[in-house]
Amino acid sequence: MEWSDIALTVGAVVGFIALTVGTAVFVAAEFSLTALERSTIADDVATRGDLRSRQVERAHRTLSFQLSGAQLGITITTLITGYLAEPVLAQFIEPALSGLGVPPGWHGGLTAALALTLATSLSMVLGELIPKNLAIAEPLSVARLTAAPMVAFSALFGWAINGLNGAANWMVRRLGIEPAEELASARSPQELASLVRTSARRGSLDPDTAILVDRSLRFGELTAEDLMTPRVRVTALGPEDTVDELLRVAADTGHSRFPVCRDGDLDNLVGVVHVKQAFSVPHKELRTTRLDSLMWTVATVPASLDGDSVVEYLAVGGLEVCVVVDEYGGTAGIVTTEDVIEELVGSVTDEHDDENDDVTPEGEGYLCSGLLRLDELESATGLRASEGAYDTLGGLVMFHLGRIPTSGDEVELVSHPRGTEGEDGSAGEHDGPPADRRWLARVTAMDGRRIDTVSLQPLPDDDDAYGQDLS
């Protein structure tokens, strides 16, 4: 072999190695950029603030352009690699075939096939698979390492990248899809909730913290109707009432905020007053100052409004109260800041709650308020009612009884299983009975025509059907 042939062979080998390294850089850049989260990049910029971190941030903002550049670089390097490697490898393969006794007529085809296979395998393992695995394992480190070469390549071949990327985007749009410049790094509330539950089960997150975070993530799914205090528990005043009457009612009820309505009808709401406004009135004028001179306008929200929007309305006006309107335009109830807090942190005693608990243990069952909401009922006892024209436990019992109850009336309630369960298999946040068991509901006290308290006792699984089957 002459020196010129040796030089060409050595040059081809060096070129093969250099091109394989180039392929590795492009592959590593591609996978590291797609594996990185925006929050990770932002933290790196805030912590280090060097040139490489800013280059990575800039590249991630133009992800589509960078990925197109990486694909162009991979294509160029792999094509040239095959062109250089095939003749070099053929010089070693052909003598080996002769030594093995392969007929000379077969040398050309076998040499080309073996050289191409060997060159492709080496390029794939060294130039693609190894850098891909490194980029997935350490995306930030690899992205910082490849940032400078990618910047240089993008600057040199920007015209080609833009042209090819533009052509691809045009074809994608013809398919009815709008190309995205960045990958979506955000996680859905469902994904985050699943992560929280998993962390709690594995002990990496405190259970109380997990419950608070999970409720916060689910808060946006709640509506004003879920958050409100129902109108049957709201005490209203009239515009002709005096401040003295306001103070008296506040002392009797323990409430601080009162809707002001005409003729005692909450559907004719004209404003809202707060007991603290009474302190701005001189003592001698308490019996003569009417509430219509003190009342404020109050925000009204539809019952279907989501929880996040309700919070925004509560921040307007300073009284931290909203009136919830049903689909027919009537007043369904009111929402206060305390109601929102209760949904996030659990049951708290606020101005619209009785001093006594709404649910207290009673033997193997519970003694419940008739005004207990159905979601609160499920959370406290495990009894999940079917959908119907009722919002409270009292309404559920009255619906299935078919009349105004009297003290001592009994009905059987069947807890309906959920359509879908959580990842942990739970049907709620309680540790109560399974979702398909039966309960005996006994009306223990009435407040006029309203059910005041209900005794709930679980029935044995082998018990004969008692009363009405409400499934």
pLDDT, position 455: 93
Which of 309, 339, 305, 303 minimizes the C-alpha distance to 321? 339
Residue 155 dihedral angles phi and psi, to the nearest 5°: -65, -35
pLDDT, position 181: 60
Q: What does pTM read for this prediction? A: 0.42
pLDDT, position 465: 41
**What is the rounded average pLDDT for all residues in the chain?**
79
Burial of 286 (0-12, 13-18, 19+ CB in 10 A): middle
CA dihedral 313, 315, 319, 325 (to 10 degrees): 10
Residue 222 dihedral angles phi and psi, to the nearest 5°: -75, 160
pLDDT, position 418: 57
Amino acid at 307: G
Residues 6+ apart with CB under 8 A from 185: 37, 38, 39
| Model pLDDT for residues 452-463, shown as the tens digit of each residue | 899 999 888 654
Alpha helices in 184-223 (DSSP H): 189-201, 207-218
- Alpha carbon separation from 1 to 13, 15, 16 (Å, rounded): 16, 20, 21
Other C-beta atoms closer than 10 Å to the C-beta of 236 total 20
pLDDT, position 423: 39
Q: Using H for helix, E for strand and C for coil, what is the string for 75-124? A: HHHHHHHHHHHHHHHHHHHHHHHHHCCCCHHHHHHHHHHHHHHHHHHHHH
pLDDT, position 29: 92
Q: Are strands 299-302 and 321-325 parallel, antiparallel or unpaired?
A: parallel
Low-confidence residues of the chain, pLDDT below 50?
A: 1, 351-352, 355-356, 419-434, 463-471
Helices then strands (H, E): number in the chain? 16, 11
| Model pLDDT for residues 393-425, shown as the tens digit of each residue | 999 999 989 899 999 999 999 887 654 444 333
Beta strands in 326-449 (DSSP E): 331-336, 359-362, 365-369, 410-414, 438-447
pLDDT, position 323: 87
Cα–Cα dist 346/78, whole Å: 61
